[in-house]
């Protein structure tokens, strides 16, 4: 018999049971549900709401149940609908009447809210750690490639000279923002809803601060209606994960391009590439392509949650059961992607010579040529037009700015002097961009120092704040 069956005169249809049940996917919350129940029972005993004898029986029974679940000795029932009622039914079957006292001063509404927060907090800590590992790999790769000159692109056209380190540090910035987003999301969800009941709290003299502290929350929720009907923390997490996946997808696209014969800037390690069933020469970037593809899947989870919540009146509604599969899938997908993306990047081999050759083509030092003329006293717009004529002449003659004769330069503008070739040297063009945020050596060194400091601080974020 169902735990809520007292009101009903007939059994629910089996189709309704199957449709209504969530145990198929919320079974993964068993640990959080039992942790919450252990603390709730201890609080009930401390407050004298149930006897110490019942408290001890409940806690002992829950502890043994947790051990049996993790050992694979427990089978959950669809009849009990969800993980909360399964745990309570199994406990009551084992310890008798004392198990029926566990749900005193509690509703499934605040129970699922605390379970989800505990689970999501734990998952954020894991994803945060994976992001730190990715960041460490990025910083390491950037340090190794400080002098790898390559073209920078706009519109996927060669634009200005930069270094591979500078490009990788752009992705470092993205991942650092992702890390702080996860920390911010964690901080906002670090409030315990247990004690909110179905929507209006309880008449029992419970100790919500005790429960929150024992479950590792920083505070309690301040409004019982909001506490049981809030899923902002799931939405905010999926938003942060969607942004993280967008960054991984952009980086994946770069890797896919760089590993093509057309670019040939990099080569994937054999352990992180696949072949073709028909074309023996192929080495495919499937990992990067799958990360790019799975990004849409995480976006879908975010849209699902936003759509579920968009018109729900207070307080709890059964629609909110849909929060779990979307949140779980987003978490699983991101963790899977990070676990394979980081070692793929770590073993990626960059071709310094190919990048350097590409940087010598495409007139990526054209802006530097214009800046040279400005330093000679010309207005920038006049310098811009002169260099445009130079580029047009080079295209007509099959030359580059580096291969033009000094006579050719003087024919277009007498402002050019024999130091023009030094000014157009690609390495010098990069070194001259040494303002903070640029690809020059001292700018990159300063950026690397900042990144290492960030890593030292944020790799310890949850440990130092006792969030373990």
Question: Using one digit for the tens of pLDDT, what is the confidence trace for 75-89?
Answer: 999 989 999 999 999
Q: Are residues 266 and 142 in the same domain?
A: yes
Contact 217, 194 (CB under 8 A): no
Query: Distance between the two ends of the chain, CA-based, in angstroms?
Result: 39
Q: Are residues 132 and 193 in the same domain?
A: yes
Pairwise CA distance, residues 60 & 176, whole Å: 44
Q: Are residues 262 and 237 in the same domain?
A: yes
Residues 6 or more apart from 23 whose CB is under 8 A from it? 76, 77, 78, 80, 81, 82, 83, 86
Question: Using one digit for the tens of pLDDT, what is the confidence trace for 158-211?
Answer: 999 999 999 999 999 999 999 999 999 999 999 999 999 999 999 999 999 999
DSSP secondary structure letter of residue 218: S
Tokens describing residue 430: 């990069």
Question: Using one digit for the tens of pLDDT, what is the confidence trace for 342-388?
Answer: 999 999 999 999 999 999 888 999 999 999 999 999 999 999 999 99
ω into 312 cis (within 30 of 0): no
Tokens describing residue 62: 């829950």
Q: Are residues 328 and 388 in the same domain?
A: no
| pLDDT (0 to 100) of residue 280 | 86
Pairwise CA distance, residues 373 & 371, whole Å: 5
Q: Are residues 132 and 175 in the same domain?
A: yes
Pairwise CA distance, residues 136 & 400, whole Å: 39
On the question of pLDDT at 1 being above 60, the answer is: no
On the question of pLDDT at 123 being above 50, the answer is: yes
Pairwise CA distance, residues 8 & 17, whole Å: 14
**CA dist 49 to 20, 105, 207, Å?**
32, 9, 11
Inside any domain, residue 247: yes
Tokens describing residue 119: 């689970």
- CATH (domain of 193): 1.20.200.10
Q: Are residues 264 and 315 in the same domain?
A: yes
Pairwise CA distance, residues 154 & 366, whole Å: 14
φ/ψ of 90, rounded to 5, equals: -65, -40
Residues 6 or more apart from 270 whose CB is under 8 A from it? 283
Looking from the CA of 2 toward its CB, the CA atoms found within 13 Å total 19
Query: Comparing 370 with 13, which gets the higher pLDDT?
Result: 370
- Judge whether 249 counts as a catalytic residue: no
Residue 151's DSSP bridge partners are 161
Contact 440, 431 (CB under 8 A): yes
Inside any domain, residue 417: yes
The three-class DSSP label of residue 155 is coil
- Judge whether 155 counts as a catalytic residue: yes
Inside any domain, residue 424: yes
Pairwise CA distance, residues 348 & 2, whole Å: 56
For residue 338, what are the domain limits? Answer: 109-150+159-357
Angle, CA of 121, 126 and 128, to the nearest 5°:
90
Confidence band for 468, pLDDT divided at 50, 70 and 90: very low
Inside any domain, residue 452: no
If you count them, how many residues does the chain have?
A: 468
The three-class DSSP label of residue 163 is strand
Catalytic residue among 51, 77, 276, 442: 276
Q: Are residues 56 and 127 in the same domain?
A: no
Inside any domain, residue 258: yes
Question: Residue 458 CA to chain centroid, in angstroms?
Answer: 15
pTM: predicted TM-score of the whole model, two decimal places: 0.93
| pLDDT (0 to 100) of residue 305 | 98
Q: Are residues 232 and 335 in the same domain?
A: yes
Mean of per-residue pLDDT scores for the chain: 95
On the question of pLDDT at 467 being above 60, the answer is: no
Inside any domain, residue 465: no
Q: Are residues 370 and 317 in the same domain?
A: no
Question: Using one digit for the tens of pLDDT, what is the confidence trace for 228-254?
Answer: 999 999 999 999 999 999 999 999 999
| pLDDT (0 to 100) of residue 270 | 96
Pairwise CA distance, residues 28 & 115, whole Å: 10
- CATH (domain of 427): 1.10.40.30
Residues 6 or more apart from 135 whose CB is under 8 A from it? 172, 175, 176, 179, 451, 454, 455
Q: Are residues 353 and 370 in the same domain?
A: no
Which stretch of DSSP H or E encloses residue 303? Answer: helix 286-309
| pLDDT (0 to 100) of residue 457 | 96
Pairwise CA distance, residues 243 & 248, whole Å: 9
Tokens describing residue 306: 């936003």
Considering only CA atoms, give the Rg of the chain: 30
Q: Are residues 61 and 138 in the same domain?
A: no
Catalytic residue among 155, 229, 242, 447: 155
**CA dist 291 to 95, 245, 370, 411, Å?**
48, 8, 41, 52
On the question of pLDDT at 125 being above 70, the answer is: yes
Contact 121, 467 (CB under 8 A): yes
Contact 119, 323 (CB under 8 A): no
| pLDDT (0 to 100) of residue 3 | 60
Inside any domain, residue 166: yes
On the question of pLDDT at 9 being above 70, the answer is: no
Pairwise CA distance, residues 199 & 192, whole Å: 14
Pairwise CA distance, residues 451 & 176, whole Å: 9
Inside any domain, residue 455: no
Q: Are residues 64 and 119 in the same domain?
A: no
- Count of structural domains, the chain: 3
């Amino acid at each position: 018999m169902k735990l809520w069956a007292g009101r009903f005169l007939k059994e629910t249809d089996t189709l309704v049971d199957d449709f209504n049940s969530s145990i198929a996917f919320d079974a993964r919350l068993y640990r959080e549900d039992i942790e919450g129940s252990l603390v709730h029972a201890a609080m009930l005993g401390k407050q004298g709401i149930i006897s110490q004898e019942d408290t001890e029986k409940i806690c002992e029974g829950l502890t043994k149940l947790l051990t049996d679940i993790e050992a694979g000795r427990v089978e959950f029932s669809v009849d009990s609908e969800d993980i909360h009622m399964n745990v309570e039914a199994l406990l009551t079957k084992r310890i008798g009447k004392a198990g029926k006292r566990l749900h005193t001063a509690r509703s499934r509404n605040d129970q699922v809210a605390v379970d989800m927060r505990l689970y999501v907090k734990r998952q954020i800590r894991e994803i945060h750690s994976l992001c730190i590992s990715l960041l460490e790999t990025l910083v390491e790769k950037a340090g190794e490639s400080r002098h790898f000159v390559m073209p920078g692109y706009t519109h996927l056209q060669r634009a200005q000279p930069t270094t591979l380190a500078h490009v990788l540090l752009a992705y470092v910035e993205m991942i650092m923002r992702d890390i702080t987003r996860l920390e911010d999301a964690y901080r906002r969800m670090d409030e315990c809803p247990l004690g909110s009941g179905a929507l209006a709290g309880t008449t029992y003299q419970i100790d919500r601060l005790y429960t929150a502290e024992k479950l590792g929350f920083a505070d309690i929720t301040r409004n019982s209606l909001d506490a049981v009907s809030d899923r902002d923390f799931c939405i905010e997490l999926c938003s942060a994960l969607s942004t993280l996946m967008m960054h991984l997808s952009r980086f994946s696209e770069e890797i896919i391009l760089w590993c093509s014969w057309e670019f040939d800037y990099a080569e994937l390690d054999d352990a992180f590439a696949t072949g073709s069933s028909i074309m023996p020469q192929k080495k495919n970037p499937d990992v990067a392509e799958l990360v790019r593809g799975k990004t849409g899947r995480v976006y879908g989870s975010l849209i699902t949650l936003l759509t579920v919540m968009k018109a729900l009146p207070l307080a709890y509604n059964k629609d909110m059961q849909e929060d779990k599969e979307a949140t779980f899938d987003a978490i699983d997908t991101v963790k899977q992607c990070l676990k394979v993306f980081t070692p793929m990047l770590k073993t990626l081999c960059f071709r310094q010579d190919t990048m350097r050759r590409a940087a010598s083509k495409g007139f990526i030092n054209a802006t530097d040529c214009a800046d040279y003329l400005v330093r000679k006293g010309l207005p920038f717009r006049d310098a811009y037009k002169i260099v445009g004529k130079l580029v047009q002449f080079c295209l007509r003659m099959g030359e580059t700015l580096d291969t033009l004769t000094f006579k050719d330069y003087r024919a277009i503008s007498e402002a050019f002097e024999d130091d023009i070739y030094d000014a157009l040297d690609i390495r010098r063009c990069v070194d001259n961009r040494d303002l903070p945020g640029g690809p020059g050596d001292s700018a990159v060194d300063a950026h690397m120092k900042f990144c290492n400091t960030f890593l030292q601080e944020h790799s310890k974020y949850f440990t130092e704040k006792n969030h373990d």
